[in-house]
Amino acid sequence: MEKQFNISSFYSGRITLRRTIQIIFLIITLLIGIKFYWFVAQLESGGAVNIGRPPGVEAFLPISALVSLKYFLFTGIFNRVHPSALVIFLIICSTALVFKKGFCSWICPFGLLSDVLADVHLYLFKKQIHLPRWMDLSLRGIKYAVAGFFIWSIFITMPVDAVGTFIHSPYNRFSDIKMLEFFTNISLTAFIVTLVLVFLSVIIPNFWCRYLCPYGALLGLLSFFSLGKIKRSSQNCINCKQCETVCPGKIQITKKININSLECSACLRCVQSCPQKNAIGFSLQGYPIDQKRIALVLSALFALGIITARQTGYWQNETSVQAYRQYILGKQMPWKTPKGIDPEKMKRMIEKMKKSSPG
């Protein structure tokens, strides 16, 4: 049967359960950002600070999380410079081992933005614009190359003692401030790049997520070992290919039984669009999972991880308000390089990390 495009089935602007969860996490993210902004503003004013620093802001420090992960794996030390960065990173990675790239389609604010821009694409063009397959495959390699660069730089080339020094360096310790400045004092170059990415995401749906996001690439690789996956019943499938039409990952679903693609984000659009009962569904080790259960388990993983971190003292960081104030006011902090580490070599390494990440 010839594949027919149905814009109403692809359009994701309806307030579905998945969209509701996305909006809830977006609101939480915005509240964290606003609270951190006022925390920094009070520090800059020089007056009393009566707003606490929200630990959740460290979700935007993936490089710090990767460095902390290596340090933890090699030393057993869960450092308290940016502990919640590693906690959130581990929670996100755990979701990939259960619900594929479910974080991307259910939780991530940039995933929500990609969905909205994809809806704009459909509103403007009334149809999907596809890149040639060879170009699509080539561009998809970019995000894996970027993810590989960071993993190689941190896990292969950085000595463990240098990792420890970097963790406690002013650059990493106050990287949350640098990250905020990227948004509040964005450079012209960064602004133009952002506009270009938005434009490309309207012309080519999910451009950032599909081709450039290194976080999504890492989750895709982890999702290969996911306990849950989309399964198609060859007996019940009528080969209408409606599932392929609505799939944002452009997965060739009707050619497979177990959908183990690295691009699957467990958004369940394929399941919702299928006109044939029991032809396709998401299952966890053979047990059928619907939208409500995915939403419940994903929320539970985040809640459990954060509560555990709070109870064990690995949620709030160790940097004092006074240290933040001194840094913001431009005063030199007495951070010392541990014995056995060449200060000049450490300085060059930090400069290299600065060039690799804005935050």
Say how many domains are in the chain: 1
Chain segment 172-207, per-residue pLDDT in tens: 999 999 999 999 999 999 999 999 999 999 999 999
Q: Tell me if 232 is assigned to some domain.
A: no
Determine, yes or no, domain membership for 48.
yes
Contact 261, 244 (CB under 8 A): no
Q: Is residue 256 part of a domain?
A: no
Is 86 part of a structural domain of the chain?
yes
Q: What is the mean pLDDT of the chain?
A: 88
Residue 173 counted as domain residue:
yes
Instruction: With respect to residue 281, please indicate whether it lies within any of the assigned structural domains.
Output: no
234 inside domain = no
pLDDT, tens digit (0-9, with 9 covering 90-100), for 131-153? 898 999 999 999 999 999 999 99
Residue range of the domain that includes 77: 15-226+291-356
pTM of the predicted structure, to 2 decimals: 0.86
pLDDT digits over 5-28, tens only? Answer: 444 444 444 568 999 999 999 999
246 assigned to some structural domain:
no
Rounded average pLDDT over 329-340 = 52
